[in-house]
Structure 1
């Protein structure tokens, strides 16, 4: 990697990147989806695939501006990517954009509802390679604090979700474990209780196998009997607006998440200045070299399945010469 800065200084800005730097993902360090209806299909798992070959498939799909698509599965599933330069943190501007496949409802039965449709927010982590070892170390990661991090009740749909019985809490230090199923289900009863999960909030349930996807939902290159993910868990944004289980709307958070706003919208852009440490203090990073995105909500939404973040790329807005003022 070409580093655009040397040693970490909170007041230092990275140098201008050398000619030839690309605005796009150039490496995939790790990919581990949680269980989900698109796991093992985006990208496709083939017998004999390993963690390394799956990482390469992800790079082929979303690296170098290919704009393919990968799924992170249910809560916690993640991808970690890198670049050939440091994405600079410019004062007052958004610095990068994570591409997803969010879209909005064209026929919401609730005419007074806020913007929503298919917003499946992924939480974004960023790391600045302050020691120059070309890898993200544990003490270099910071979380982008989006709108719900700062004030969940400020989301336009918060009261609607609360009235619908959703869990609207923001959980820091959330942890969930998925257990490998004994077999692929064949009966409706087995499909309803396909993959068991438990979290550290005293909740448990099942990931359902739906009518559209019948491949294994547990990542097949993983040999372990269970998968555990940790992080921040966002309020549940999916609501059955039909009241009959046939029209689910996943509402948009104000800002700060992947696969939440449409790619063409200002709200899809991310300001590195939103990065905070574990105590919520601003990180004051001069730029970022690595980005990790993980599915931020644990929720089943009827026939459309679990909330799962999808990613098709990351773009350095400065190298693309896009000037987007930071909203917050």
Structure 2
């Protein structure tokens, strides 16, 4: 067979193969269009428009929009014009290519409301329309709500802050005399569900105390940054461990991954401690007490929305003893025992690093009485005692400063020796408003954000909070028990956990 004839045979075979491949390609169906970038429901204010711009994946020959069964448009996008009267519309978008059709059904509701959208546990800033400019009688109110777990906080006549725990629709009204606007806020779930527990520790500095350098454990070479990280490892999440704040003023600053909503009439969050009741108090009919070491609470919300408690204003949670302890059920007994029952606001105390670290107390002594020198802004001074049960340094070992100064409120001394022999100390609980003051399961460990006050002592109307600071509010030595030291463990958003605790009206 000559070469020319062979070539013609090969060419014929190739043509047959190409023809076969083209036939298979023609018979193989192409991928169907996929419609994305559109919600299943929309709310549109009457006499306004909504431009719908879908994202179409794969090749498309035609796009058809059907409104209430009638062809409305053939285009890549569709501009819905809301009529003058409220109503509900069924919109279908259909995308075609050869042998394929894809469609998406959309419900459009029109009404007379100004439309706002947000996600759960996020603060939304609402602004009144221009017709309310220069009006000083503007009022905001909620007309109806999908859930009672929400907060509307009015900051001034022109703006209000709104946040909700649950998704749904919330109808609001802003008015001034005969002027009225009605708002519809649609609250959706975020892409990532928030955690009910502490998500971040920003700062940690305990004051000298018997559990310092142990809870959390200090290791040679640790720095401020590594100890903050250790505190975070202990406190973040559901399975939190316990850290100490040491003596008076020692603190920790924590944050959540969302805003804890300030729900009216309910307590909003709880920070665990290790408080417990006394089993054998020799005083009959004594109020609740045992190991109650109250930590004072400060709160803030992320006003500048940068995720950090930097320039945001801190507010004080007004606990029952923040101004006086005279109404506490143990107050008269504390006076009789000659406790220091003063409440001192704007208090400052400085601790001085000890020159030497003795491992144990002298024979016959319960501790080293002249261990850590302290001075305060009231002209007082004294020493923190090192007891026989904890021999490590009580001064934060990672701090290079030889003097540490703390500021805040010093509460009345709540520890009373009840045996008369120096052997049975009972630390009594304040009525409400603190950390490590009641057992974690007790309702009085819950905190209401509505108890917050500003630096001048005025109540504030916060929509919610993102950050919490806790510091030890007690300066007291309790014999062989050592100093009162606030301990902190798991933090909880009570609303996300479904825990309903009624508040106490101050």
Query: What band does the TM-score fall into relative to the shorter chain?
Result: over 0.9
Tell me the secondary structure at the aligned position of residue 161 of structure 1.
helix
1:30 aligns with 2:203: yes
Which aligned pairs between 1:184-203 and structure 2 lie closer than 5 A? 184-186=357-359, 187-188=361-362, 191-203=368-380
SS at match of 1:217: coil
Alignment correspondent of 2:310: 137
Contact 1:127-1:291 at 8 Å conserved across structures: yes
Number of equivalences: 327
- The worse-fitting range, judged by mean Cα deviation, of 50-59 and 294-303 is 50-59
Instruction: Tell me what 1:160 maps to.
Output: 333
Structure 2, unmatched stretches of 5+, are 1-119, 126-152, 166-188
More deviation in 132-141 or 69-78? Answer: 132-141
Task: In structure 1, list runs of 5 or more residues that go unmatched.
Answer: none
Which residue pairs with 2:298 in the alignment? Answer: 125
Partner of 1:225: 402
SS at match of 2:321: helix
Question: Which residue of structure 2 lines up, in the alignment, with residue 234 of structure 1?
Answer: 411
**CA RMSD of superposed structures (Å):** 1.6
- TM-score where L is the length of structure 2: 0.63
Give the whole-Å Cα distance in 1 for the aligned partners of 2:322 and 2:382.
25
CA distance in 1, matches of 2:219, 2:445: 33
Aligned to 2:427: 250
The aligned counterpart of 2:122 is 4
Given the superposition, is the C-alpha separation of residues 85 and 215 from structure 1 closer, same or farther in structure 2, using an over 3 Å criterion?
same
Aligned match of 1:316 in 468, 475, 493? 493
1:174 aligns with 2:347: yes
Q: 1:3 Cα shift?
A: 6.8
Cα distance in 1, alignment partners of residues 324 and 352 from structure 2: 33
Determine if contact 1:61/1:70 at 8 Å carries over to the other structure.
Answer: yes
CA contact under 8 A between 1:177 and 1:227: conserved in structure 2? yes
Q: Which residue of 1 aligns with 2:56?
A: none
Task: Confirm whether residue 304 of structure 1 aligns to residue 481 of structure 2.
Answer: yes
Mapped partners of 1:252, 1:281: distance in 2: 25
One of 147, 153, 163 as aligned partner of 1:14: 163
Conservation of the 8 A alpha-carbon contact between 2:124 and 2:162 = no
1:268 aligns to what? 445
Q: Does 1:101 align with 2:278?
A: no
SS state of the match for residue 149, structure 1?
coil
Alpha-carbon distance, 1:195 to partner: 0.3
2:220 alignment partner in structure 1: 47
Cα distance in 2 for partners of 1:157, 1:170 equals: 15
Which of 57, 76, 79 aligns to 2:249? It is: 76
- 1:19-63 per-residue CA deviation (whole Å, 9 max, x = no partner) reads 420010110000000000000000000011111111111111111
Mapped partners of 2:469, 2:371: distance in 1? 28
1:259 paired to 2:436: yes
Q: Please state how far the C-alpha of 1:327 moved relative to its aligned partner.
A: 1.9
CA-CA distance at 1:150 after TM superposition: 5.0
Pair 1:223–1:239, CA change in 2 (3 A): same
**Residue 114 (structure 1) aligned with residue 287 (structure 2):** yes
Indicate conservation of the 8 Å contact 1:144/1:256, yes or no.
yes
Render the CA deviation track for 1:168-193: whole Å, top value 9, x for unaligned: 11111000000000110255378111
Paired residues of 1:6 and 1:132 also in contact (CA < 8 A): no
Deviations along 1:1-31, one digit per CA (max 9) or x if unpaired, are: x971144854423244634200101100000
Within 1, Cα distance between the matches of 2:323 and 2:381? 27
**Structure 2 Cα separation of the partners of residues 155 and 319 of structure 1:** 32
Deviations 1:138-186 (A, max 9, x none): 5510010011125420000001111111111111100000000011025
- Measured after TM superposition, the shift of residue 70 of structure 1 is 0.3
Cα distance in 2 between the residues matched to 1:146 and 1:284: 17
| SS of alignment partner, residue 84 of structure 1 | strand
Alpha-carbon offset, residue 112 of structure 1: 2.8
- Name the CA distance, whole Å, in 2 between partners of 1:99 and 1:279: 28
In the alignment, the residues of structure 2 paired with residue 66 and residue 223 of structure 1 have an alpha-carbon distance, to the nearest angstrom, of 32
Kindly indicate whether the alpha-carbon contact (under 8 Å) linking 1:126 and 1:143 is maintained by their aligned counterparts in 2. Answer: yes
Measured against aligned partners, the alpha-carbon deviations of 1:50-107 in whole angstroms (never above 9, x if no partner) come to 1111111111111111221000000000000011100000011100001000000010
Describe the SS at the equivalent of 2:471: strand
2:282–2:419 contact (8 Å) kept in structure 1: yes
Bigger drift between 107-116 and 153-162 goes to 107-116
